[in-house]
Amino acid sequence: MTYTRNTMTAALAVFAMTTFSMAGASATALTPLPKETHINHSLMAGVVADKIRKACPGISARMFVVLHKMNGLKSYAVRKGYEEVKVRAFLKDPVEKARVKAMAAEYLTSHGAVVGNAESYCTLGREEIAKKSLIGQMLRAR
């Protein structure tokens, strides 16, 4: 299956927005969203996967896996009790978006990806796929 560059970007946006669309009543002592490790790690992993598949012509997105991960994260948020309105505000906040993108950029750099060097992204992508990491699960080597 071939996807355009914008398909995964759009899927990740849907991932982020619908992940929490069913979030229920708030719990009394929830971790603030910017500090909620699982949610932030998952969002960062999605951004990293998207950057890898955009930079490496030999790697593409596994869209069904992305959708499955989206549903799993949505279930996680519901179980935790995050309110939809707070999550939407978190996801739309430009400061938070920039923070997650910065986390992804740091991850990419610290794992050998070099802007402008497609092979460095391909190498990282293949490593993530081989490790079956969250990032690697969203990618497929062609």
Q: What is the DSSP string of the chain?
A: ----HHHHHHHHHHHHHHHTTT--SPPTTPPPGGG-HHHHHHHHHHHHHHHHHHH-TTEEE-HHHHHHHHHHHHHHHHHHT--HHHHHHHHH-HHHHHHHHHHHHHHHHHTT-BTTBHHHHHHHHHHHHHHT-HHHHTEEE-
Q: Which amino acid is residue 102, in one-letter code? A: A
Q: Is the pLDDT of residue 117 over 60?
A: yes
Condensed to tens digits (0 to 9), the pLDDT of residues 16-55 reads 554 444 334 444 589 998 999 999 999 999 999 999 999 9
- Residue 75: its pLDDT value, please? 77
Local confidence band at 71 (pLDDT 50, 70, 90 cut-offs):
confident
Q: What is the pTM of this model?
A: 0.80
In the predicted structure, residue 124 carries a pLDDT above the cut 80: yes
